[in-house]
Structure 1
Amino acid sequence: MTKPIFGVIADDLTGGMETAAMLIAAGIDCGFVTDPDLVASLGDSPAIVVAQKTRVISADQAVAKTESAARALLARGARQIFFKYCATFDSTDRGNIGPVSDLLMQLSGAEYTAFCPASPALRRTVYNGHLFLGAELISESPKRNDPLTPMTDPDLVRVLQRQTPTKVGLLAHPLLDAGLDHLKRAIAEEAARGVRYFIADTIYDRDLAMLAALTSDWKLMTGNATIVQHYPEIWRTQGLIPTAKTRPSLPAVGGAGVVLAGSCAERTLEQLAEFEKRHPVLRIDLLKAGGVESMVAAALDWARPRLENGPVGIATSESYAAVNLAQQRYGREGAAQLAESILGRLAVSLRSAGVRRFVVAGGETSGSIVDHLGIRRLRVGPYGGPGIGTAVTEEDDPVALCLKSGKLGPVDLFTRTLESMLHPEGAN
């Protein structure tokens, strides 16, 4: 069995699917699983993505789940491990980016690694170690109010250093402009002083290309999916993979279509409002929630007759103010778990009712729904846009899924994606 050259460990399913989709669009065969035990059964794909719901669970749990994924990929002989997290570096002072990276350094035997969350095309940039969303520091953006991972410090060197005993440094932008040889010398000098982690300034796409060239032979790299787009051409130049293959397409999937939204991001709320212009949407108020069973039953009763006339939407998404009220009643984690449980169990009931096309908004929501549906392996389609991944299950009666980052995607994404699943091209 051929050893993979690239093993990705993603801390949520939306990001993992986006990464796989980028590789597939570049002509790289890429396996995608949610269960590390399936890694050994995959074929000769040069890239494998293991996506698990580890972003906001406890650091100890995230480390344990990541260890299973890393050991499975390393047992397959993965040449490089890539830890994928969000462009907004979603984490808290307890983790999970730092503790997971500490583990991966140990398991991979890496001497050092870099952190590249940036997505310049989406105006997620890092300068002097500070993370910007557009013209705003992340601490002055809506991310400061995130219900699970509020980002109140824009200095990623400080943010990461609070999560790890490993010494954190900076690859400042002048170093990237100075060229590859200069970068390598600077890293060697800093490593001699004990620095093992490097936050990478990244403003332009050319910075991503430079960082990809720098890190393509490293045992461990970490970052957002955007840098991954720059690796395939390097691998081809190095003779590690053949010339690009034709972009594969996904099969058409019929059956009823549903949007399930749990994200509270402003973009998801806009997408729901746009979807509601043409399709009915049920908004579940967690403050009025009874038992999970009764809420799922009520939502299913609402959806069944409407599905005969086309797609519907069901959402626990709310404004940050409404989320704060729910958190006051249930606690921060309790409110999130309640919403995820309702939507996850509802997805199971909807599948039994004939739904075969799902668009899911929110990384945590996506993980919960895929877990509830018992999906462990997916065939991913080529890249359809930032934060968006489309896939089908590998079974006789397939289900089509679009797992979307809450913050991303065009405003008409929901309707357009559900319609695209009906056609052979299938991936946005």
Structure 2
Amino acid sequence: MRHAYRRHRGRLTGASDIANTLAKGGGGAPGLATTQFLGVPSRPADPECQAGLVALKSRSIPAGEAVEQSLAALAWLRQQGCLQIVFKYCSTFDATAEGNIGPVGEAIAAELGGRGVVACPAFPGAGRSVYMGNLFVGDVPLNESSLRHHPLTPMTDSDIRRWLRAQSSQPVGFIPWTTVSKGADELRAALAKCAAYCETLVIVDALTDEDLLAIGEACVEAPFITGGSGIAIGLPRNFLRAGLVETAQRTFRPVQGRGAILAGSCSQATLAQIAEHERAHPVLRLPVVEIVEGGVTAADVIDFVERNEGRAPLVSTSQPPGVVRALQARFGTEVVAHAIDSLFAEAATALVSRGLRRLVVAGGETSGAVASALGVESLDIGPEIAPGVPAVSTQNGRLALAIKSGNFGQVDFFARALAALEGTAG
């Protein structure tokens, strides 16, 4: 990792989200040659890598475990010569009072010797903004959005200052948009005051990409930043202006060949995307009850995909939130999740061994299970398919993937994604 920095936290999709931001760049500056690593690597990064991301499946695990994993990732990143670390979490914060965003942020800050650390999950490109410390999804406060029904982290309060204070052992600061809107110098001074008040993590308002660029400029010398993927918009520009990286980027390698889609997300966005895809393409909707009870197996998925070769087949376990809650109550949350993830992981492994070259996966947990089963260790980041979702390819160039969090993507995302993976997207 020649001169740049970077990151960790949540799931595979969350890492791809910020990887897309780094590879794309912003503020008139090109992006960086970005590689995403699945877990802490056991070997050094490629010297050509300008931004490296370590994806950890730590979003919902106990705080102590998340801190341990994150510090291991931090140690590896620093060994690669990283100059700036970003702790990335979901743009919808996805927290509980016992969550690990605060503990991980404070632990990394302690290692890097920092206070007055930005905490900003805003991602305007995906409809996430922070105003007066409250997180909005579109024009709706977080606690009035569909995230209030999230099965693992129901967001019942839009004020993320309260969530972060409940998790943190040290004072949490706040900088309003009226300060951010005055530019990088004012924001930098405000962060310095927060540090003087012994406030380690500081919620910072942001409504637009211009606000995020100002935050990036204010943090040009900051060793540590936290936030959603939007927080990285201005960071490549800092490194390019300082002459720390060259502008050459690794080229995404499109892949021709058979393609399929696996959808395990139950978000409203994914449900709408499945319905749209079904208008012109074959869709197999699997009953989760039968998956849990063993009536449906990976062989059924494989058979459906191969019978519909060339027609962008989609296999789904997605259900409305009420149905999901009923299934979880009946069988147990972990049992349901494990059954679905295992089914898709087994099916994906078999399909790739039989020659599948393009694979789209919807759902963070599902994506992680599939990538793990396929033995994917790292991914090269390609062009953006939708805000927060890039096309990616394995470093051996044999498989192209699009992996997305449930809430991301246009209504016709699945067709767009398969086209992007083979380089034919408009």
2:108 counterpart of 1:104: yes
**After superposition, what is the alpha-carbon deviation per residue over 1:360-412, rounded to whole angstroms, capped at 9, x for unaligned?**
1112211111011110011221333312121111226x011001121111111
Q: Is 1:142 equivalent to 2:146 in the alignment?
A: yes
Whether the 8 Å contact between 2:292 and 2:336 is mirrored in structure 1 is no
Q: Mind listing any 5+ residue stretches in structure 2 that lack a counterpart? A: 25-29
Q: Which of the numbers 256, 269, 289 marks the counterpart of 1:287?
A: 289
Report the alpha carbon displacement of residue 346 of structure 1 after superposing the two structures with TM.
Answer: 1.7
Q: What corresponds to 2:376 in structure 1?
A: 375
Opposite residue 399 of structure 2, the aligned amino acid is V
Separation of aligned partners in 1, 2:184 and 2:296: 60
Q: 1:374 to 1:293 in 2, by over 3 A?
A: farther
> Equivalents in 2 of 1:162, 1:39: separation in Å?
37
The answer on whether the counterparts of 1:145 and 1:320 sit within 8 Å (CA) in structure 2 is yes
Equivalent position of 2:422 in the other structure? 422
Rounded Cα–Cα distance in structure 2 between residues aligned with 1:57 and 1:351: 30
2:273 corresponds, among 255, 271, 274, to 271
Are 2:348 and 1:347 aligned? Answer: yes
2: distance between equivalents of 1:238 and 1:251? 29
1:291 CA displacement: 4.8
What is the aligned partner in structure 2 of residue 23 from structure 1? 22
- Aligned residue for 2:4? 5
In the other structure, the counterpart of 2:219 is 215
C-alpha contact (below 8 Å) 1:85/1:223 kept by paired residues: yes
**Higher mean C-alpha displacement, 125-134 vs 47-56:** 47-56
2:94 counterpart of 1:93: no
- For the residues of structure 2 that align with 1:285 and 1:372, how far apart are their CA atoms? 23
Cα distance, 1:350 vs. partner? 1.8
Give the 3-state SS of the residue equivalent to 2:385 in structure 1.
coil
Superposed CA offset, 1:133-181 (max 9, x none): 1221100111101112211111111001111212111111122133433
- Structure 2 Cα separation of the partners of residues 394 and 251 of structure 1: 9
> TM-score by structure 1 length?
0.92
| Paired letter, 1:399 | L
Unaligned runs of 5+ residues in structure 1 are: none
Task: Read off the aligned partner of 2:282 and give its amino acid letter.
Answer: P
Confirm whether residue 46 of structure 1 aligns to residue 50 of structure 2. Answer: yes
The change in CA–CA distance for 1:41 and 1:132 in structure 2 (over 3 A counts) is closer
CA distance in 2, matches of 1:355, 1:46: 30
- Give deviations 1:163-210, integer Å, cap 9, x for gaps: 121211111112213343333333333322221110011112221111
Tell me, in whole angstroms, the C-alpha distance in 2 between the residues paired with 1:140 and 1:327.
23
Larger mean CA deviation between 37-46 and 274-283 belongs to: 37-46
Q: Which residue pairs with 1:192 in the alignment? A: 196
Question: Post-superposition shift, 1:419?
Answer: 2.6
What SS does the corresponding residue of 1:162 show, helix, strand or coil?
helix
Q: Structure 1's 93 and 334: CA in aligned 2 closer, same or farther, altered over 3 A? A: farther
Equivalent of 1:206 in 204, 210, 216: 210
Q: CA 1:249/1:189 → structure 2, altered by over 3 Å: closer, same or farther?
A: closer
The answer as to 2:122 corresponding to 1:123 is: no
Equivalent pair of 1:39/1:72 in contact (CA under 8 Å): no
| In structure 2, distance between residues paired with 1:200 and 1:68 | 27
* RMSD (Å), alpha carbons: 2.1
Q: What is the CA distance between 1:56 and its match in structure 2? A: 2.2
The question of whether the paired residues in 2 share the 8 Å contact of 1:39 and 1:73 is answered with no
The reply to whether residue 181 of structure 1 matches residue 185 of structure 2 is yes
**Secondary structure of 1:382's partner?**
strand
Distance 1:282 1:402 in 2: 19
Equivalent residues of 1:4, 1:44 under 8 A apart:
no
Output the amino acid matched with 1:259.
I
Listed as ranges, the matches of 1:43-82 within 5 Å are 43-82=47-86
Partners of 1:181 and 1:400 in 2: how far apart?
42
Matched positions, count:
421
Partner-residue secondary structure (3-state), 1:102? helix
Q: Secondary structure of the residue that 2:337 maps to in structure 1?
A: helix
In percent, how many aligned pairs have the same letter?
Answer: 34
Contact 2:122 2:129 in 1 (8 A): yes
* Residue identity opposite 1:263 in structure 2: S
